[in-house]
């Protein structure tokens, strides 16, 4: 019953309304207590160069600093999650990538040396295994507590999750938050996050240094993500935390089972785009010639609406679902082609990561200064939503406020310089270096393909500041 603010006003009458309470659980202990047992603290160390000695002068003062021959070790910390009873731990690759000694500590006090079994830098994941010796063999009896692996693609914005890890060195720290976004792709920066090639889960659960590699746990007590990074103006958490979806653990475990050091990831051979509102599904932008998708009957401009009888709403969740598929297995993909619904059986292929060749242009006399330029291959093309079978040279990104900014964009394919075709990075450097180093001003033409358009820039270089004509 809601009473009016002015009860004596005859126009006001009490209003009866029904209000639905949103109840939060009084305690999360039924989820936290079993999950805590499977989350471990990871302590790493590596040898670092010792201080070099030498003779130094400061004004009239002369002094010698002796060489320090004492071995020094740099230490770091992180977290991990036990996913198998034999002591197999999943963590972030960046937690252990530089370490030559790794120690893992459970919340019950047991500690073990560990060794790296598999690395997957593209997903920032790694698998460790406890080292068993005659002295600690009894600690392996009965196995280890594990956390069941759930599905990150099943999360929805607003779902409650818990982050568990070695937060700032405080073992077993548990924080609570919600899912803020699923399929977050972050801007390219010089950070751990920018090196990850898969869409991430964003959460408001607080994580800090030491939390990396820890568990993101759903209210059903399943591992749905591996906490990996934060975005912050300082070193502290401001509610922008990110986790690698648990789906990408599956290829890591497959590599462990097959005794491979490198992860083999499922591959369909097509690039994807959003469907214009109010359409549903995801648009196939291009199909790699001879790839699994083409062989299965999928064509460019098809709209994928189902994978294995599950409705598809966005490309990020679709990629997470693909990560769960076995190599060489056959999957059913339903597409809409015009007014027809077509069922395509696709045999899952293997993602073969190409060797990426690129250059960063930093000479301010060069009109491309501030741009990163790469040799095109399926890996690069898929990131930029370019047909996977295209070849040539493409601009990956352009730094803000650089010489190239305002002219060129990430995704621009350089097709000609001074009316000569460009096919390699060497073509770019050789044709621009001579003009840039000239003592007299020279007009250089650079032609790029931007989407369906072709744009030609006429630029003045050499002998003075660059200007656009």
Given 124, 314, 387, 412, the catalytic residue: 124
pLDDT for 409 = 92
Whole-number Å distance between alpha carbons of 61 and 75: 36
Active site residue 212: yes
Active site residue 254: no
Residues ≥6 apart with Cβ < 8 Å to 418: 431, 444, 445
Given 35, 41, 94, 211, the catalytic residue: 94
Given 35, 41, 212, 315, the catalytic residue: 212
pLDDT for 1 = 43
Q: pLDDT of the chain along its 469 residues, tens only?
A: 444 444 555 555 554 545 455 566 779 999 999 999 999 999 999 887 655 556 555 555 556 656 666 667 788 899 999 999 999 999 999 999 889 899 999 999 999 999 999 999 989 999 999 999 999 999 999 999 999 999 999 999 999 999 999 999 999 999 999 999 998 876 554 444 446 778 899 999 999 889 999 999 999 999 999 999 888 877 677 778 999 999 999 999 999 999 998 898 899 998 888 888 888 899 998 898 899 999 999 999 999 999 999 999 888 899 899 999 999 999 999 999 999 999 999 999 998 766 678 888 888 888 998 899 999 987 788 778 788 778 999 999 898 888 899 899 999 999 999 999 999 999 999 888 888 888 888 889 999 999 889 999 998 887 654 434 3
Whole-number Å distance between alpha carbons of 464 and 228: 46
pLDDT for 197 = 76
Active site residue 94: yes
Tokens 């034999």 identify what position? 86
pLDDT for 193 = 47
Tokens in use for 118?
């598999």
| HEC letters along the chain | CECCCCCCCCCCCCECCCCCCCCCCCCCHHHHHHHHHHEEEEEEEEEECCCCCEEEEECCEEEEECCCCCCEEEEEEEEEEEEECCCEEEECHHHHCCCCEEEEECCCCCEEEEEEEEEECCCCEEEEEECCCCCCHHHHCCCCCCCCECCHHHCCCCCEEEEEEEECCEEEEEEEEEEEEEEECCCCCCCCHHHCCCCEEEECCCCCCCCCCCEEEECCCCEEEEEEEECCCCCCCCCCEEEEEHHHHHHHHHHHHCCCCECCCEECCEEEEECCCCCCCEEEEEECCCCHHHHCCCCCCCEEEEECCEECCCHHHHHHHHCCCCCCCEEEEEEEECCEEEEEEEECEECCCCCCCEEECCCCCCCCCCEEEEECCHHHHHHCCCCCCCCCEEEEEECCCCCCCCCCCCCCEEEEECCEECCCHHHHHHHHHHHHCCCCCEEEEEEEEECCEEEEEEEEECCCCCEEC
């Amino acid at each position: 019953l809601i009473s009016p603010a002015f009860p004596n006003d005859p126009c006001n009458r009490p209003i009866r309304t029904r209000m639905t309470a949103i109840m939060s659980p009084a305690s999360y202990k039924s989820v936290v207590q079993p999950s805590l047992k499977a989350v471990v603290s990871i302590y790493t160390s590596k040898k670092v160069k010792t201080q070099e000695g030498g003779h130094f002068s400061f004004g009239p003062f002369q002094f010698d600093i002796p060489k320090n021959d004492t071995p020094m070790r740099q230490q770091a910390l992180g977290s991990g999650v036990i996913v198998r009873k034999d002591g197999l731990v999943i963590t972030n690759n960046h937690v252990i990538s530089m370490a030559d000694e790794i120690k893992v500590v459970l919340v019950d006090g047991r500690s073990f040396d560990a060794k790296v079994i598999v690395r997957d830098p593209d997903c920032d994941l790694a698998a460790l295994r406890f080292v068993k010796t005659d002295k600690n063999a009894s600690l392996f009896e009965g196995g280890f507590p594990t956390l069941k692996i759930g599905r990150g693609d099943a999360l929805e914005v607003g779902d409650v999750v818990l982050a568990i890890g070695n937060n700032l060195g405080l073992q077993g720290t548990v924080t609570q938050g919600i899912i803020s976004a699923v399929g977050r792709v972050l801007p390219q920066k010089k950070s751990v996050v920018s090196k990850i090639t898969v869409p991430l889960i964003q959460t408001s659960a607080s994580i800090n240094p030491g939390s990396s590699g820890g568990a993101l746990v759903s209210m059903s007590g399943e591992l749905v993500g591996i906490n990996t990074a934060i975005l912050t103006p300082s070193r502290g958490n401001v509610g922008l935390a990110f986790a690698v979806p648990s789906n990408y653990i599956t290829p890591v475990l497959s590599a462990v089972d097959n005794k491979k050091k490198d992860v083999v990831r499922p591959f369909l051979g097509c690039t994807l785009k959003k469907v214009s509102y109010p359409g549903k599904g995801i648009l196939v932008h291009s199909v790699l010639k001879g790839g699994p998708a083409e062989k299965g009957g999928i064509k460019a401009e098809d709209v994928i609406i189902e994978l294995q009888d599950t409705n598809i709403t966005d490309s990020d969740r679709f990629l997470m679902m693909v990560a769960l598929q076995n190599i060489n297995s056959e999957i059913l993909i339903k597409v809409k082609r015009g007014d027809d619904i077509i069922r395509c059986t696709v045999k899952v292929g293997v993602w073969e990561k190409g060797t990426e060749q690129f250059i960063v242009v930093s000479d301010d006399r060069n009109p491309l200064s501030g741009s990163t330029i790469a040799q095109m291959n399926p890996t690069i093309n898929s990131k930029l939503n370019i047909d996977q079978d295209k070849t040539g040279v493409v601009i990956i990104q352009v730094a803000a406020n650089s010489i190239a900014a305002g002219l060129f964009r990430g995704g621009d394919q350089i097709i000609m310089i001074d009316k000569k075709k460009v096919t390699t990075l060497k073509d770019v450097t050789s044709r621009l270096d001579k003009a840039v180093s000239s003592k007299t001003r020279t007009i250089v033409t650079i032609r790029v393909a931007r989407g369906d358009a072709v744009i030609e820039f006429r630029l003045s270089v050499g002998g003075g500041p660059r200007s656009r004509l």
